[in-house]
Structure 1
């Protein structure tokens, strides 16, 4: 997403997420052909290796190069991007020169830099905690709805069930891509998807046993909703942080979210059929709690990835002036 402007971020994120269920369909085809878990792993590993050379052609993030003051590499990357997009040098190089002049900051002492870094981490600590909780809850529910409930549906074959789930997931990603560019923005689109997910999770225990068809429909709506929530969160969370902190934020985001994916099957096995309804109530409650926490976060629509970095640069300039005085 850092390779695009703020006006195209939603499209880039949506395109990458829609490709994920396409991969799920391909994985299903591999499983159907392999019929053995070891052969399936060989097939998926070989396919993954085919995609590695593509990374060679992807340029480094201009925002990251700017934040690290790697101006020579930044100019080279921008020139390559401009050439690919058919832009003349006069159309972008004057703006690049002006940007470098405005963001050039005198060197500071190590002590002052450490202090500013510590202050920045403390400033964004609440957002880091909430971001981790967002990924934990969304991946917990995504895993439970996508694979936990899907495995219990014996009406169709597991291959067909996986394909249907991928189609529903694609729909969730597409709807998310449309909602985030409306007045709802990122924040309220995420809240909308989470509220719909909570309602579906709360209703599933009442219908899945007595009326399987209705329960299946509600669970698929729930999967669409949680897929939309995942899509928006992966777009929303990186935009909450400046470039210099985005790597750390994404690492915490993914790391804590992995515990949600791990916990879902453990809880599903531990509670059994007797207490599964209570587990779903807890899931619904966690989703509502998460929704309340998200209301404290800012909206990021139409905000460039480097906005926070510009603010930090201004602060550093002021601090440097004070240090000299």
Structure 2
């Protein structure tokens, strides 16, 4: 997952999100079959590592693609709704694993849903923003016209629409799109994340939030071993609480805003895990507090994805998401050691660590801008306007087509 997070930004910039997603899904399916046929533990572990790489690549790329295809008015809803299929899969997994104990059959069954990705070739559109930046204007116009057709919207004439998409590319790249090599383009994307003081501060705050969210999410998911509950039931209820979490998340980020909602998620998680220290040996109370913490941190996990998307330009958006995920992987790698190693010597230590990190993250979120009504930025100027109080109307050439 760490490897995938490093390469996904550059790969999607080179190949496009649509093509990259389709290829990764096919290889995810093949590596799952390879895992089921593995003759040794080493081959099995290698196959699972490949699956993790391809799963992470598709996860990051799909979220970025969905957000770039969404209008401003629907971005809150769609950004929250993507967490529901994840929750349903988490609820289904323990039942499958409980009744199918033969690991080879289990691997094949868990990989089989990726067969449906064959349909992506016909139904999944490419990001118009990526096509525009790559100078493929006619293809971008075709995608926009398809979107407008299904949404029963009227677009300007083809000539005017073509002028609009060309102006976006000029605004973003200064008229030099297509002149950079792959290495130079990648370095420029990386440079863009740290080009101004505002960007540096926002990037590092998001890095810390990603680390904390992954650290606490996977930590609370693994904590069932220490509270004495069944791993199967804990996994099922952990997925169950994420469904109302996604629904409430949409209501809060739509009406309250991203920043206050994320602060509330971190505070709620911290309070839940710290309160679990004072309930004694009551299994019911520990389960309730643990699941309420899972409820809060799963919302935070969805929301930090949305934050990264909304404060970075198309040119650096997927790279920013990949680098943020890299930092998050260090958090998820750390959580088992805190639970299993430190938790054995001091059972209260994991809850204290998770709670303290969550509270610090809540404070750091105050630095981030509110992005609820912001248009997805296309240039550094658009990025700087987010949270500055400057009006964005008319500043972004995509505004006329953002309602598709």
TM-score normalised by L of structure 2: 0.69
CA–CA distance in structure 2, aligned partners of residues 38 and 152 of structure 1: 29
CA–CA distance in structure 2, aligned partners of residues 271 and 22 of structure 1: 32
Offset at residue 262 of structure 1 (A): 1.8
Root-mean-square deviation (Å): 2.7
Q: 1:271 aligns with which of 330, 342, 348?
A: 342
Alpha-carbon displacement from aligned partner over 1:55-86 (angstroms, at most 9, x marks no partner): 32211112222233321220121122223333
Name the counterpart of 1:63: 129
1:60-209 equivalences in 2 (<5 Å): 60-88=126-154, 90=156, 93=158, 96-100=161-165, 102-103=167-168, 105=170, 107-108=175-176, 120-123=192-195, 124-146=199-221, 148-155=222-229, 157-182=230-255, 184-207=256-279, 209=280
Q: 1:289 aligns with which of 360, 366, 381?
A: 360
Alpha-carbon displacement from aligned partner over 1:83-131 (angstroms, at most 9, x marks no partner): 33334555x7476245235335364597xx9897676332233333222
Name the counterpart of 1:28: 94
Alpha-carbon displacement from aligned partner over 1:135-192 (angstroms, at most 9, x marks no partner): 111111111112x22234545x43333222211121222211110001x311111011
Q: Give aligned pairs, total.
A: 305
Q: Secondary structure at the match of 2:373?
A: coil
Give the greater-gyration-radius structure (CA). 1
Q: In the alignment, is the contact (CA less than 8 A) between 1:244 and 1:309 conserved in 2?
A: no
Q: Secondary structure at the match of 2:315?
A: helix
Q: Which runs of 5+ in 1 are unaligned?
A: 313-325
Offset at residue 40 of structure 1 (A): 1.6
CA–CA distance in structure 2, aligned partners of residues 23 and 304 of structure 1: 32
Q: In the alignment, is the contact (CA less than 8 A) between 2:94 and 2:236 conserved in 1?
A: yes
Q: Which runs of 5+ in 2 are unaligned?
A: 1-66, 384-404
- Larger relative contact order (Cα-Cα within 8 Å, sequence gap ≥ 6): 1
Q: Secondary structure at the match of 2:376?
A: coil
CA–CA distance in structure 2, aligned partners of residues 178 and 255 of structure 1: 29
Name the counterpart of 1:300: 371
Name the counterpart of 1:323: none
TM-score normalised by L of structure 1: 0.84
Name the counterpart of 1:247: 318
Q: Secondary structure at the match of 2:223?
A: helix
Offset at residue 259 of structure 1 (A): 1.9
